[in-house]
């Protein structure tokens, strides 16, 4: 087999280095100098698009076990290279792929130019380990696909992995020649500069040869990659193409956030963001994965994301022959048909003006319009929308070509829209409200403080708004104009239900908010002697989809760590951890604990389950409250890892501490 080689991309001359350092010393980065309005203009097409196609395709389609097979299957580099010699996707049709994206209503497309395995799916002079030179196919799919995307009006974009399991400049986490584990790699001593030069060569090729609208980075968690490195790459690319959009995974910079396999409950206010998600469970083609999400779930995901101001990047994983699997195409076709009738409610919209989710669905908006995406059709034919004081000029069902008007009445603070009793669309029906100017909307009041559990006494606050007064009750009853008028913080000395609403001219203009303030007693501390700093852990290996009972399993090893972190020595997939010890609380109070994990985790303090983040998922955060007395309290954290990336983090807030990682000084174990 021919050795796959990399071009020699070495350090510039000393003179060039000196000039470069002088230049860097006298300029700001693009992230610092670009004006907010300039960025807004550059991002506008992407924000309006809302829906894009992600494509994970490479030589990993040959073994058909997902894009992480090289590390998950512990395949040596030389053996893995042979898949390139078999890669011959004679059924690849760039025009069909672009048309599939277009017909699905997708406005942009992102394809892997180089995934973590290092195999390049484009014509690059930086390495011969690429689809044109190393395969019997000898064709450049990115060239064909970029042209096809232009034909169908789809913005062409590329994915690029910073981590590279094939690179001579990076070393595997476990370099066992017969059973290697690559993730996460690290730079070989003195080779970071060479790899960054390699990256710049390839990124310049991608920008100049294919003119992508977006570069979608990944793999920045490799050891040795820094925010400074990410900023350097960001600035380099923005010089090559000032219109380019770059995601945040480059590190140190980025134009938008990228939650993976999840939809943030409240979006990411103040940031552009995009949820990337698989149709089944894998990004790259896996011949045994038939767990496809339904068209209904996928469409409602899109609607939910748009209602929170985000984009949906939905993945397909083509086969080694170059075919997008039929179950994925079928679901995209259904989405496209819905969007042909209802796309006005998605494209070019902004997030819902309502601060809480509507009980029957979602809402998006454009100037002078509210789009009500109804998931749960009212059986009585009355769709109730609270908090809108403006009268709509016209109301109709978007998919109704005649736009026949719907009757709208008012009941208290709510609009009551008369709709057909028969549900027009079982996935989602869109009702449009058109207004003259911006509709006036009153969201339910915000009742503070955020933490509603207290010791002794506390005060409830209600956020005022101009032009309205606040009436409240302390017994859970619906407030009226004759209920107490809010004039300032309300003293709370016992468990109390506070309910509040906005009123104007003695009439309600908003829905109500209800908050339960729970007075509790602090859990007593335990007496512990002969402690030492740190936390004990037991390490297990096994395949789980939810938290096992570690007490019934035999650990592979036991040791002590200084904090709640994952041990350096661990499998990359299918393992579990049980941490046990004591947390030392500095003073009596109510404490919030924030447990984040990828995949599942649970936090117990004493015998109480405080935070539950169980299940298979990307990095998510769960919060729990508990009242604790000063002193030691037993603590246990259970964690398991399935496939893909892993992660575990425990943070605390309270007792005078702002939200922070649980300090090492708070963790102890009994000797």
Does position 24 have pLDDT exceeding 70, yes or no?
A: no
Residues in contact with 166: Cβ distance below 8 Å, sequence separation at least 6, in sequence order: 4, 77, 80, 81, 117, 118, 119, 129
Q: pLDDT tens digits for 224-239? A: 999 999 999 999 999 9
Amino acid 601: pLDDT: 98
Q: pLDDT tens digits for 52-106? A: 999 999 999 999 999 999 999 999 999 999 999 999 999 999 999 999 999 999 9
Amino acid 573: pLDDT: 84
Amino acid 23: pLDDT: 36
| Closest listed residue to residue 273, CA positions, set 256, 293, 253, 250 | 256
- For residue 609, how many C-alpha atoms fall within 13 Å in the half-sphere facing its CB? 7
| Confidence class for position 31, pLDDT limits 50, 70, 90 | low
Higher pLDDT, 277 or 27: 277
Higher pLDDT, 192 or 22: 192
| Closest listed residue to residue 209, CA positions, set 248, 158, 254, 249 | 158
Amino acid 568: pLDDT: 86
Say how far residue 375 (Cα) sits from the centre of its chain: 23
Environment class of residue 292 by beta-carbon count within 10 Å: exposed (0-12), middle (13-18) or buried (19+)? middle
Does position 333 have pLDDT exceeding 90, yes or no?
A: yes
In this structure, of 414-428, 461-475, 565-579, the range with the lowest mean pLDDT score is: 565-579
DSSP states of 3-15 = PP-B----PPPHH
Amino acid 30: pLDDT: 55
Distance, in Å, from the CA atom of 279 to the CA atom of 299, rounded to the nearest integer, reads 11
Amino acid 569: pLDDT: 86
High-pLDDT (> 90) share of the chain, %: 91
Strands (E), 3-147: 51-55, 108-114
Amino acid 6: pLDDT: 42
Distance, in Å, from the CA atom of 288 to the CA atom of 63, rounded to the nearest integer, reads 11
Whether 323 contacts 288, CB under 8 Å: no
Q: Report in angstroms the alpha-carbon separations of 375 from 296, 362, 385, 394, 492.
A: 10, 8, 14, 21, 39
Residues in contact with 124: Cβ distance below 8 Å, sequence separation at least 6, in sequence order: 130, 201, 202, 205
**pLDDT, average across residues 22-45:** 69
| Closest listed residue to residue 9, CA positions, set 125, 157, 121, 112 | 125
Amino acid 33: pLDDT: 64
Does position 167 have pLDDT exceeding 60, yes or no?
A: yes
**pLDDT, average across residues 457-478:** 96
Distance, in Å, from the CA atom of 171 to the CA atom of 179, rounded to the nearest integer, reads 14
Q: pLDDT tens digits for 279-307? A: 999 999 999 999 999 999 999 999 999 99
Provide the token pair at 54.
Answer: 């992600």
Q: pLDDT tens digits for 198-220? A: 999 999 999 999 999 999 999 99
- Domains present along the chain, CATH in parentheses: 14-341 (3.20.20.80), 361-434 (2.60.40.1180), 447-519 (2.60.40), 531-670 (3.90.182.10)
DSSP states of 342-358 = HGGGTTT-B--S-SS-B
Provide the token pair at 3.
Answer: 């050795």
Cis preceding linkage at 184, omega within 30? yes
* Region class of 361: left (phi > 0), else alpha (psi between -120 and 50), else beta: left
Length of the chain, in residues? 671
Distance, in Å, from the CA atom of 523 to the CA atom of 591, rounded to the nearest integer, reads 11
Question: Tokens 């280095």 correspond to what residue?
Answer: 17
Q: pLDDT tens digits for 506-518? A: 999 999 999 999 9
In this structure, of 6-20, 35-49, 325-339, the range with the lowest mean pLDDT score is: 6-20
Distance, in Å, from the CA atom of 165 to the CA atom of 167, rounded to the nearest integer, reads 6
| Confidence class for position 572, pLDDT limits 50, 70, 90 | confident
Amino acid 10: pLDDT: 33
* Coil vs helix vs strand at 667: strand
Does position 1 have pLDDT exceeding 70, yes or no?
A: no
Does position 344 have pLDDT exceeding 50, yes or no?
A: yes
**pLDDT, average across residues 600-609:** 97
Distance, in Å, from the CA atom of 99 to the CA atom of 145, rounded to the nearest integer, reads 10
Does position 163 have pLDDT exceeding 80, yes or no?
A: yes
* Coil vs helix vs strand at 646: coil
Amino acid 645: pLDDT: 78
| Confidence class for position 453, pLDDT limits 50, 70, 90 | very high
The dihedral formed by the CA atoms of 466, 471, 476 and 482, expressed in degrees to the nearest 10: -150
Amino acid 21: pLDDT: 34
Does position 354 have pLDDT exceeding 60, yes or no?
A: yes
Q: pLDDT tens digits for 127-144? A: 999 999 999 999 999 999
State how beta strands 557-561 and 535-541 pair. antiparallel
The dihedral formed by the CA atoms of 264, 266, 271 and 274, expressed in degrees to the nearest 10: 30
Residues in contact with 618: Cβ distance below 8 Å, sequence separation at least 6, in sequence order: 259, 260, 261, 262, 598, 645
């Amino acid at each position: 087999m021919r050795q796959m080689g990399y071009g020699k991309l070495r350090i510039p001359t000393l003179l060039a280095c000196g000039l470069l350092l002088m230049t860097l010393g006298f300029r700001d980065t693009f992230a610092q100098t670009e004006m907010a309005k300039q960025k807004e203009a550059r991002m506008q097409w992407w924000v309006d698009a809302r829906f894009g196609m992600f494509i994970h395709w490479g030589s990993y389609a040959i073994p058909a076990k997902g894009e992480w097979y090289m590390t998950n299957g512990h395949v040596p580099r030389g053996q893995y290279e042979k898949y390139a010699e078999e890669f011959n996707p004679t059924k690849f049709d760039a025009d069909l792929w672009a048309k599939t994206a277009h017909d699905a209503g997708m406005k942009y497309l992102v394809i892997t130019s180089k995934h973590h395995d290092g195999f390049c799916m484009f014509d690059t002079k930086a390495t011969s380990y690429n689809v044109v030179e190393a395969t019997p196919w000898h064709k450049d799919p990115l060239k064909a696909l970029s042209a096809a995307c232009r034909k169908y009006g789809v913005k062409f974009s590329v994915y690029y992995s910073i981590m590279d399991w094939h690179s001579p400049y990076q070393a595997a986490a476990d370099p066992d020649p017969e059973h290697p584990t690559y993730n996460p790699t690290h730079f070989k001593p003195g080779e970071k500069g060479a790899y960054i030069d390699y990256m710049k060569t390839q990124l310049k090729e991608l920008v100049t040869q294919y003119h992508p609208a977006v570069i979608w980075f990944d793999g920045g968690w490799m050891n040795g990659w820094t925010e400074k490195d990410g900023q350097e790459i960001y600035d380099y690319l923005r010089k090559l193409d000032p219109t380019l959009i770059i995601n945040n995974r480059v590190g140190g910079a980025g134009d938008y956030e990228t939650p993976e396999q999840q939809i943030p409950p409240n979006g990411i206010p103040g940031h552009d963001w995009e949820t990337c998600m698989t149709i089944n469970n894998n990004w790259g083609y896996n011949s045994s994965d038939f767990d496809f999400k339904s068209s209904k779930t996928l469409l409602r995901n899109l609607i939910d994301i748009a209602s929170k101001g985000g984009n949906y990047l939905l993945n397909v994983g083509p086969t080694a022959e170059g075919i997008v699997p039929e179950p994925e195409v079928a679901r995209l076709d259904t989405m496209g048909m819905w969007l042909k009738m209802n796309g006005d409610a998605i494209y070019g919209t902004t997030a819902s003006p309502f601060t809480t989710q509507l009980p029957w669905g979602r809402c998006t908006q454009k100037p002078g319009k509210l789009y009500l995406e109804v998931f749960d059709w009212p059986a009585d034919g009355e769709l109730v929308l609270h908090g809108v004081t403006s009268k709509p000029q016209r109301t109709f069902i978007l998919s109704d070509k005649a736009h026949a008007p719907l009757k709208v009445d008012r009941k208290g603070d709510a609009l009551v829209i008369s709709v057909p009793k028969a549900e027009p669309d079982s996935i989602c029906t869109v009702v449009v409200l058109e207004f003259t100017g911006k509709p006036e909307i009153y969201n339910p009041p915000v009742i503070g403080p955020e933490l509603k559990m207290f010791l002794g006494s506390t005060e409830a606050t209600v956020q005022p708004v101009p032009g309205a007064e606040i009436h409240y009750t302390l017994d859970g009853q619906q407030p009226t104009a004759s209920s107490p008028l809010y004039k300032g913080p309300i003293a709370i000395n016992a468990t109390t239900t506070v309910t509040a609403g906005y009123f104007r001219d003695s009439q309600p203009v908003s829905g109500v908010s209800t908050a339960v303030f729970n007075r509790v007693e602090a859990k007593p501390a335990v007496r512990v002697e002969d402690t030492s700093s740190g936390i004990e852990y037991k390490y297990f290996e096994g395949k789980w989809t939810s938290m096992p009972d570690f007490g019934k399993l035999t650990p592979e090893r036991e040791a002590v760590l200084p904090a709640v972190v994952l041990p350096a020595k661990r499998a990359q997939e299918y393992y579990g951890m049980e941490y046990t010890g004591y947390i030392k609380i500095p003073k009596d109070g109510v404490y919030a604990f924030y447990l984040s994990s990828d995949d599942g985790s649970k936090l117990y303090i004493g015998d109480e389950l405080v935070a539950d983040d169980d299940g298979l998922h990307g990095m998510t955060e769960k919060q729990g409250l508990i009242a604790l007395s000063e002193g030691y309290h037993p603590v246990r954290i259970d964690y398991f890892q399935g496939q893909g990336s892993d992660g575990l983090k425990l943070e605390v807030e309270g007792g005078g501490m702002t939200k922070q990682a649980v300090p090492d000084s708070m963790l102890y174990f009994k000797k």
